[in-house]
């Protein structure tokens, strides 16, 4: 998949306000196509809102998708900085329940590109790092 434009997400939900202001529609270039496809699939699978950033509507989240190199949020080589990670909340579902569903059904097409889940947190972190999922399963890292 070379290009993918999500059906259920606006760009402002996936990049910080400064990035959106600076790059506009070109900010799509910062995001991995398969992570975009995956979050669309999750919204459809659960038939619930999957909130990433909500700064546009006055909410507190602005760096739960792509993060700039200058951010103080997260680790220096976080997958967020490469556009390959998403933090989010599935409306009405605890993060542990979402993670359990992904780990119980790793072969579900909606989850096929997830290579890593972060555990021990109250939100869902999923990413597409370079990890041999076929050999080792979905990597689980504790915050």
Model confidence band, residue 67 (pLDDT cutoffs 50, 70, 90): very high
**Which pLDDT belongs to residue 14?**
98
Question: How many angstroms separate the CA atoms of 34 and 4, rounded?
Answer: 8
Question: How many angstroms separate the CA atoms of 92 and 25, rounded?
Answer: 31
Please indicate, yes or no, whether the overall pTM of this predicted structure exceeds 0.85. yes
**Which pLDDT belongs to residue 55?**
98
Q: Which residue's entry shows tokens 């989010």? A: 88
Ordered alpha helix ranges (H), the chain: 17-23, 33-46, 95-104, 133-136
At 101-133, the pLDDT tens digits run 999 999 999 999 999 999 999 999 999 999 999
Contact (Cβ atoms closer than 8 angstroms) between residue 108 and residue 45: yes
Q: What are phi and psi of 88, to 5 degrees?
A: -165, 175
Q: If you compute the radius of gyration of the chain from its CA atoms, what whole number of angstroms results?
A: 14
- HSE of 56, CA atoms in CB hemisphere, 13 A: 14
At 5-56, the pLDDT tens digits run 999 999 999 999 999 999 999 999 999 999 999 999 999 999 999 999 999 9
Q: Which residue's entry shows tokens 């546009």? A: 56
């Amino acid at each position: 998949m070379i290009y993918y434009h999500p059906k259920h997400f606006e760009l402002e939900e996936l990049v910080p306000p400064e990035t959106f202001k600076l790059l506009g529609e070109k900010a799509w270039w910062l995001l991995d196509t398969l992570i975009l496809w995956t979050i669309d699939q999750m919204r459809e699978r659960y038939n619930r809102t999957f909130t990433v950033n909500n700064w546009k509507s006055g909410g507190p989240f602005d760096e739960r998708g792509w993060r700039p190199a200058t951010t103080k949020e997260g680790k220096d080589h976080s997958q967020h900085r490469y556009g390959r990670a998403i933090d989010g909340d599935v409306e009405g579902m605890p993060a542990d329940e979402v993670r359990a569903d992904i780990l119980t059904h790793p072969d579900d097409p909606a989850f096929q590109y997830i290579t890593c889940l972060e555990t021990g947190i109250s939100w869902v972190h999923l990413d597409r790092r370079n990890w041999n999922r076929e050999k080792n399963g979905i990597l689980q890292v504790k915050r």
